[in-house]
Copies of this chain bind each other. A is one copy, B any other.
Amino acid sequence: MTITPPALSVFESLESEVRSYCRSWPAVFDRAQGARLTDEDGHSYLDFFAGAGSLNYGHNNPVLKRALIDYIERDGITHGLDMATTAKRAFLETFENVILRPRDLPYKVMFPGPTGTNAVESALKLARKVKGRESVVSFTNAFHGMSLGSLAVTGNAFKRAGAGIPLVHGTPMPFDNYFEGKVPDFLWFERLLEDQGSGLNKPAAVIVETVQGEGGINVARAEWLRALQDLCHRQDMLLIVDDIQMGCGRTGGFFSFEEAGIVPDIVTLSKSISGYGLPMSLCLFKGELDIWEPGEHNGTFRGNNPAFVTAAAALDAYWADGQMEKQTLARGEQVEQTLLAICAEEPTAQFRGRGLVWGMEFTDPARASAVCARAFELGLLLETSGPQSEVVKLLPPLTITPEELDEGLRTLARSVRETA
């Protein structure tokens, strides 16, 4: 496939230098359907990035699209602040019936604003308010968002430096397997908590991703998550699972923590919760934590009703039974087998993952970039993650067909080969 250099002029002249993905993927995209995007020159791309996990059901999923257009056509409420609307009610009822009740989860639902970082900010506020403490523990290579509260519990030094002020009130602890099994889990964390002379400000909460996406596809084991929950209970800290990227079925179950059998005190959801790539987020918390005063946290777009419509439709379509989870695990198996084969031939790479999120780590970060660049030339959208962008991240839509998945994996294999 030959790609004509696109006319990027207005992007280059008018848009800020802060733009990033458009630099890796120098095309002007126009349309999309399912796992494929098409640029304005008619080139087609297979999507293994899925809007950084926001498009678990694919681009412009027809079921959701129908519901969305119907809603717009009939002049349903579009912008609803936090007013009660029929669309919000339908979403809440569906979320309760399809997600919370079957899993026996005791959560209240908060609409904290439509983005992930809004949800994280609200979770941190609530935890601090409930416990009356300012400190929060996060983990190495965590990513929780770019507003100041979320950024303070995010690991990436480059992004932290963007704050322009010292980021405080957070302390990092080692994520699972940070020392490759050489140090007992939570040894350091628990000692600091137990030792009255440790110098650690007692945390209100711990915030964790079950699989760190931006951090390099670092997968926490179920027993590590259970031990973390136990530690939180013993030490009177709230457990916040940031399920923004790994929730909504990415790892198999609707919530990524289901497999571990834990029940976090607070959960954040965003990205794929609307199902259609529309901005929406949720903050869930145990009922006894709901000590918010009316309006104590607010936001203009926390009632994005078209997103409620597609969100309810997605839950109905994909989560009323256990098919979605089974299919994701099957697709994950397919990925794993291929990565096993690729890595068998490529000694500088190793892979890891769960459900439909996988990473291939290269010894040389430049190689990971080269693989993604070559994949783009071959019509596959792939991105890197990890502290040095050393991990090629596989995040296809959950609704991808086995054939599409196979096609993408073959392109990946070829890209690895051709960049050796």
A180 → chain B closest CB, angstroms:
11
Verify if A403 is at the interface (C-beta below 8 Å from B): no
Q: Would you call B117 and A270 a contact (CB within 8 A)?
A: no
Q: Which of A120-128, A246-254, A356-364 contacts B (4 or more CB under 8 A)?
A: A120-128
Mask, A1-44, CB within 8 Å of B = 1, is: 00000101011001111111111011111111100010010000
Verify if A104 is at the interface (C-beta below 8 Å from B): no
The answer, among B51, B149, B279, B293, for a CB contact under 8 Å with A279, is B279
Given contacts A32-B77, A92-B10, contact A22 B83 (CB under 8 A): yes
Chain B residues in 8 Å Cβ range of A20: 82, 294-295, 298
How big is chain A's contact interface, by range?
Answer: 35 or more
Q: Once the chains are docked, how many angstroms separate the CA of A207 from the CA of B268?
A: 30
Q: Would you call A158 and B84 a contact (CB within 8 A)?
A: no
Chain B residues in 8 Å Cβ range of A127: 164
Q: Once the chains are docked, how many angstroms separate the CA of A27 from the CA of B81?
A: 13
Q: Once the chains are docked, how many angstroms separate the CA of A309 from the CA of B92?
A: 29
Chain B residues in 8 Å Cβ range of A60: 72, 75, 78
Q: Would you call B163 and A109 a contact (CB within 8 A)?
A: no
Chain B residues in 8 Å Cβ range of A235: none
A111 → chain B closest CB, angstroms:
8
Q: Once the chains are docked, how many angstroms separate the CA of A54 from the CA of B303?
A: 12
Verify if A388 is at the interface (C-beta below 8 Å from B): yes
- Identify the interface centre among A54, A165, A191: most chain B CB within 10 Å of its CB: A165
Chain B residues in 8 Å Cβ range of A184: 182
Q: Would you call B110 and A113 a contact (CB within 8 A)?
A: no
Q: Would you call B166 and A30 a contact (CB within 8 A)?
A: no
Q: Which of A196-204, A313-321, A339-347, A406-414 contacts B (4 or more CB under 8 A)?
A: A196-204
Mask, A158-192, CB within 8 Å of B = 1, is: 11111111111111101000110011100110011
Q: Would you call A21 and B83 a contact (CB within 8 A)?
A: yes
Chain B residue nearest to A130 (CB atoms) is B164
Q: Once the chains are docked, how many angstroms separate the CA of A167 from the CA of B23?
A: 36
Chain B residue nearest to A154 (CB atoms) is B199
Q: Would you call B199 and A16 a contact (CB within 8 A)?
A: no
Given contacts A89-B28, A134-B164, contact A387 B294 (CB under 8 A): no
Q: Would you call A298 and B146 a contact (CB within 8 A)?
A: yes
Q: Would you call A17 and B77 a contact (CB within 8 A)?
A: no
The answer, among B17, B80, B117, B182, for a CB contact under 8 Å with A294, is B17
Q: Once the chains are docked, how many angstroms separate the CA of A191 from the CA of B80?
A: 35
Q: Once the chains are docked, how many angstroms separate the CA of A168 from the CA of B200?
A: 10
Q: Once the chains are docked, how many angstroms separate the CA of A14 from the CA of B215?
A: 33
Verify if A69 is at the interface (C-beta below 8 Å from B): yes
Chain B residues in 8 Å Cβ range of A216: 197
Chain B residues in 8 Å Cβ range of A83: 21-22, 25, 27, 29
Verify if A367 is at the interface (C-beta below 8 Å from B): no
Chain B residues in 8 Å Cβ range of A30: 76-77, 85-86
CB-contacts of A301-326 with B (<8 A): 301, 304, 306
A49 → chain B closest CB, angstroms:
8
Q: Once the chains are docked, how many angstroms separate the CA of A136 from the CA of B199?
A: 12
Verify if A290 is at the interface (C-beta below 8 Å from B): yes
Q: Would you call A96 and B14 a contact (CB within 8 A)?
A: yes
Verify if A420 is at the interface (C-beta below 8 Å from B): no
Q: Would you call B17 and A204 a contact (CB within 8 A)?
A: no
Q: Once the chains are docked, how many angstroms separate the CA of A72 from the CA of B304?
A: 17
Q: Which of A137-145, A221-229, A327-335 contacts B (4 or more CB under 8 A)?
A: A137-145
The answer, among B8, B11, B75, B291, for a CB contact under 8 Å with A32, is B75
Verify if A129 is at the interface (C-beta below 8 Å from B): yes
Chain B residues in 8 Å Cβ range of A114: 114-115, 279, 301
Nearest first, the 8 A-B pairs at minimum CB distance are A128-B164, A79-B277, A197-B387, A147-B147, A172-B199, A20-B295, A18-B292, A148-B149
Using A15-B92, A27-B84 as known contacts, list a sample of 7 further A-B pairs with CB atoms less than 8 Å apart, ordered by residue number in A: A25-B83, A29-B83, A31-B77, A72-B72, A141-B199, A166-B169, A168-B169
